[in-house]
Amino acid sequence: MKKVIFVLSMFAAFSGSEVIAQKNVSFGPIVGVNFSKLTGNQLYSDWKTGSTAGIFINYSGESRFGVNGQVLYSRMGGESPNGASKGHLDYLQIPIMGTYYLNDRGNKFRPKVMLGPYIGFLLKAVNESDVSINPEGSTRPFKGVDGGAAMGAGFNYAIGRMVWLNADVRYNLGLTQVMNTVSDVHNRSWGINVGLSFPLGEYSPSTGTLR
């Protein structure tokens, strides 16, 4: 994780220092760390640390409103209260968040708040020894799909010629049950994420075209 963040920072540093107005559609890589647990599950009810990595796309209109969509590989789950056991739930997670910027386009520093739904597709579930905790059978312990709400706050900061640092702190509130064998078990997680965005183009809402 540290190596990835270092590479992103070095790439941004050599991209130039001149700041040009941000295109209203941009994309880039994102990495982060999360702290997750499973509510309603006695074995994995304490917080554990995981990682997140993926790609995102931003849209920022002439108003202060925008949209942020992401495709993430996110390791969630939880830890036992005594720290002896961990459950790692690896999801392909897709959050779509409405974004409100606290100032106008053209500013070098743009604080923001975000809110929207997410859906997650379970890729694997293993314990601390990398042994599956979701064996195949007539009823698998963990469900294949998770859904909930993502909310957070952060900022975009221009660090180069049309290159922006994106950072946020986020809370994911799982709203669907994640287990078949135990009722009322939900994902909960906090995350700290950083990424770099690069211009993709200018989207015109009136014509529906990207140029």
Residue 33 lies in a domain: yes
Q: Tell me what pLDDT residue 52 has.
A: 98
Position 207 scores a pLDDT of 66
Residue 116, SS3?
strand
* Rounded distance between C-alpha atoms, residue 168 and residue 210, angstroms: 27
Of the chain, the end-to-end C-alpha distance in Å amounts to 34
CATH code of the domain covering residue 97: 2.40.160.20
Based on the structure, what is the number of domains in the chain? 1
Whether 106 maps to a domain, the answer reads: yes
Q: Which domain holds residue 114?
A: 23-201
What average pLDDT does the chain have?
88
209 occurs within a structural domain = no
**18 vs 210, more confident:** 210
> Model-level pTM?
0.85
- 67-103 residue pLDDT tens: 999 999 999 999 999 989 999 999 999 999 999 999 9
- Does some domain include residue 28? yes
Residue 137 counted as domain residue: yes
Rounded distance between C-alpha atoms, residue 140 and residue 88, angstroms: 15
